[in-house]
Amino acid sequence: MSWPAGYGRIVLDETDSTMAEAARRAGTLAGPEWVMARRQTAGRGRRGRAWANPEGNFAATLVLQPREAPGVVALRSFVAALALFDAMVAVTGRADPFALKWPNDVLLNGGKVAGILLETHAGGALAIGIGVNLVAAPGAAEVEAGAVRPVSLMAETGAAVGPEDFLDQLAQAYAVREASFVTYGFAPIREAWLSRAARLGETVTARTGTSETVGRFETVDPSGNLVLMTAKGRVGIAAADVFF
């Protein structure tokens, strides 16, 4: 598997979290850089939640220096999700068990196999953190009540792939999707994402810290918002956790 031109690569034996490592290095990087760690001692997911990362699972952060407005930069969560989908297909040879869950999870046989976390740093650097359960998944007791059950790639598909080999696949897939995004904008990314979306057309629940919205998942709009048809009409949601 060839490494994408223009992208750097740092592989560490251990760090606290690849997101923290990326933040420390962001100001010194001249171009896109992948930071991967074989072990994380303090991995984290969305909303400050802990992210379990036993050895053999995948933890990496891509650091970019985007030039677009913040709302456009944030759409790279969809770019990353598509790249993850592509990499999963590449290592398993199958597309049918995988689906994309708004805003930034990858599902395998209905369970969560991967998550994405975006953060911006001083100077405009964007860090895209990606965690994948390659060989092991947390127990049900370790996730929020009602959340999608965690699964691992190996247990669900039998595919055995190491973190560095997965990084090769993911980096190449991301480079292709990023080039499309920069060249053609969000429209083709949005269309591709929707074609792989979990529970499209079905009733879902979107929860924030203060509210809950139930409705039929109609689409994702051109700004990346979740659009639900509720009893009160169409509602666009910019940020929430989605429950099935």
CA 234 to chain CA mean position, Å: 26
**What domain range includes position 236?**
203-243
Does residue 45 sit in the same domain as residue 134? yes
Are the C-beta atoms of residues 126 and 81 closer than 8 Å to each other?
A: no
User: What CATH number does the domain containing 235 carry?
Assistant: 2.30.30
The per-residue pLDDT string of the chain (244 residues; one tens digit each, 9 = 90 and over) reads 789 999 999 999 999 999 999 999 998 888 999 999 999 887 665 555 555 567 899 999 999 999 999 999 999 999 999 999 999 999 999 999 999 999 999 999 999 999 999 999 878 899 999 999 999 998 776 666 667 899 999 999 999 999 999 999 999 999 999 999 999 999 999 999 999 999 999 999 999 888 999 999 999 999 999 999 999 999 999 999 999 8
Q: What are 149's two structure tokens?
A: 């059950």
Within 10 angstroms of residue 72's Cβ, the number of other Cβ atoms is: 15
- What does pTM read for this prediction? 0.93
3 within a domain of the structure (yes/no): no
Does residue 190 sit in the same domain as residue 216? no
Does residue 180 sit in the same domain as residue 219? no
Does residue 44 sit in the same domain as residue 113? yes
Domain end (from 194, 217, 234): 194
Q: What percent of the chain has pLDDT over 70?
A: 93
Are the C-beta atoms of residues 200 and 217 closer than 8 Å to each other?
A: yes
User: What is the tally of structural domains in the chain?
Assistant: 2
Does residue 217 sit in the same domain as residue 166? no
Handedness of CA 200, 127, 168, 114 (dihedral sign): negative
Does residue 106 sit in the same domain as residue 163? yes
225 within a domain of the structure (yes/no): yes
Does residue 118 sit in the same domain as residue 222? no
1 within a domain of the structure (yes/no): no
User: What CATH number does the domain containing 58 carry?
Assistant: 3.30.930.10
Does residue 116 sit in the same domain as residue 227? no
Separation between Cα atoms, residue 155 and residue 47, nearest integer Å: 27
